[in-house]
């Protein structure tokens, strides 16, 4: 192998030097699966062109196209068109005049992807800022991502507090927009919390409520939520066919949250598009998504590294790791291959955050079983970067860490972690974002999604179904009815 770091024109980089070489993955290992690699490349070319993935069926057992690779391309007739993007942008602009708070209801990809965009754009204190500091955009809250009585009640109490404050200052109604995201409209977690808050807020004094539904757009066979939206007069956005929830961040499912907070939708899709274009080469060494998939596949199948730790060195990227966990777990955790043989494929994904988990998980990463790959995520240039002051000159150990910007200390922590791991033959790699912005985030998330598609082909499993999830769903409905009868 001639190089161990892949750098794109944008500055985005994938440094896999600690994955390859003596005692790690070798050129011979890659050569040994060359047939699989070529088959994977051909399969993804077909997916891009026709939306066809061999053997893929919907949960109803019908052939289903896979269209997530179309999403970065905004064009007439595509899932994202100039008109649909304009409608999203207009929706966001209208919120500035019409809405004080948005509550987004969704679970799985309908929450995790939206949370990524919120955290990167808004940070931890968005809802504490004034409207002017938020650029006129409303506060934004999440619900429906877990069935939790306390958090549901606490969110309701927060909205009621906000409403009382608004009335005390101006006497006008507090305007709340509920955005409910569900393809079917029967998702228990989402719809239960939505109905609780919708009912309570509609009954509350001093609050005006409006609803936007994000659901299957099919009007000939409307879903439960589509029917409700039509009956109630709610405006709607689309959960597109051919795009699973864990890939939907690039569709209206995720972009509606982007619109609510002023996140740069066009730059985000441009980053995803640039990554897709970079990954259309047949050269493994020049294709970051394919190289990532090949290395992780070999690490697991040849070297027993069947746990992947995804470790961003940034607080606001923790939700990115949580989004990736769903992507990896649902896509590649498969009992059967395409021949129907039992393979129990897939890596167990784990969220870690640097430097937090250097004081919590690294002991296991460094001295536990040799069954892990650690994937670091770093930010090159920060918008703000406080200097560590020499606040206590009489304390030499504190003086030793002064005089550096926090980012330099963070980088030193990452590098020391990586070096310690590779010193004990523990595989790790680094994704480098030049800046934490919409474009580079689009590059990263699309690379991860495309890597999953490639690895599904290498392993000969369907990366786009989730039959294991259906098991508990078949039990849950009847069990809910039993509990209702017992009340």
Catalogue the active-site residues.
330, 359, 473
Sign of CA dihedral 255, 258, 262, 264: negative
Q: How far is CA 290 from the centre of its chain?
A: 19
Report helix, strand or coil for 121: helix
Q: Measured between alpha carbons, how far is residue 64 from residues 52, 59, 67, 170, 459 in Å?
A: 8, 9, 9, 53, 20
Could you say which DSSP state residue 175 is in?
A: E
Reported in sequence order, the residue ranges of 348-470 that DSSP labels E, i.e. its strands, are: 348-351, 372-381, 428-435
Which residue, among 252, 245, 266, 249, has the nearest Cα to 91 in the 3D structure? 252
Distance CA 193, CA 179 (A): 12
Vertex 253 angle, CA 248 and 257, to 5°:
120
Neighbouring CB atoms inside 10 A of 200's CB total 16
| Residues making up the chain, counted from first to last | 487
| Cβ atoms of residues 337 and 459 within 8 Å | yes
Burial track 114-125 (b if 16+ CB lie within 10 A, e otherwise): bbbbbbbbbeee
Write out the two tokens for 13.
């980089």
Distance CA 300, CA 294 (A): 10
Distance CA 365, CA 361 (A): 6
């Amino acid at each position: 192998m001639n190089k161990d770091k892949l750098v794109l024109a944008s500055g985005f980089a994938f440094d896999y030097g600690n994955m390859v070489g003596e005692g790690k993955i070798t050129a011979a290992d890659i050569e040994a699966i060359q047939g699989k690699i070529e088959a994977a490349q051909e399969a993804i070319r077909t997916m891009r062109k026709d939306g066809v993935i061999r053997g893929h069926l919907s949960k109803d057992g019908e052939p289903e196209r896979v269209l997530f690779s179309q999403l970065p391309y905004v064009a007439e007739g595509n899932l994202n068109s100039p008109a649909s993007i304009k409608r999203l942008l207009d929706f966001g602009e209208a919120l500035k005049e019409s809405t004080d708070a948005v509550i987004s209801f969704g679970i799985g990809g309908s929450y995790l992807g939206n949370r990524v965009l919120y955290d990167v754009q808004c940070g931890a204190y968005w809802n504490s800022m004034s409207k002017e500091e938020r650029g006129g955009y409303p506060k934004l809250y999440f619900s429906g991502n877990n069935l939790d009585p306390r958090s549901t009640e606490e969110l309701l109490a927060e909205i009621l507090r906000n409403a009382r404050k608004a009335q005390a200052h101006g006497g006008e109604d507090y305007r709340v927009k509920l955005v409910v995201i569900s393809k079917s409209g029967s998702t228990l977690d989402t719809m239960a919390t939505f109905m609780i808050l919708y009912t309570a807020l509609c009954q509350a004094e001093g609050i005006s409520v409006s609803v936007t539904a994000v659901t299957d757009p099919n009007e000939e066979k409307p879903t439960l939520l589509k029917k409700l939206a039509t009956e109630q007069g709610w405006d709607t956005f689309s959960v597109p066919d051919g795009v699973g929830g864990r890939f939907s961040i690039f569709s209206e499912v995720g972009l509606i949250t982007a619109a609510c907070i002023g996140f740069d939708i066009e730059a985000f899709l441009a980053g995803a598009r640039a990554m897709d274009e970079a990954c259309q080469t047949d050269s493994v060494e020049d294709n970051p998504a394919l190289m990532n998939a090949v290395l992780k596949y070999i690490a697991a199948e040849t070297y027993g590294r069947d746990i992947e730790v995804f470790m961003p060195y940034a607080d606001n990227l923790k939700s990115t790791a949580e989004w990736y966990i769903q992507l990896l777990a649902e896509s590649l955790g498969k009992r059967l291959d395409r021949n129907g043989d039992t393979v129990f494929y897939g890596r167990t994904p784990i969220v870690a955050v640097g430097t937090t988990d250097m004081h919590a998980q690294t002991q296991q990463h460094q001295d536990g079983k040799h069954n892990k790959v650690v994937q670091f995520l770093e930010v090159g240039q920060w918008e703000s970067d406080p200097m560590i002051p020499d606040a206590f000159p009489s304390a030499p150990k504190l003086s030793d860490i002064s005089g550096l910007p926090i980012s330099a200390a963070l980088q030193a922590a990452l590098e020391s972690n990586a070096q310690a791991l590779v010193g004990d033959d523990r595989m790790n790699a680094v994704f480098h974002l030049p800046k934490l912005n919409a474009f580079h985030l689009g590059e990263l998330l699309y690379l991860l999604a495309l890597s999953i598609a490639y690895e599904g082909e290498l392993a000969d499993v369907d990366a786009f179904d989730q039959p294991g999830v259906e098991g508990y769903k078949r039990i849950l409905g009847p069990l809910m009815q039993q509990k209702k009868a017992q009340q």
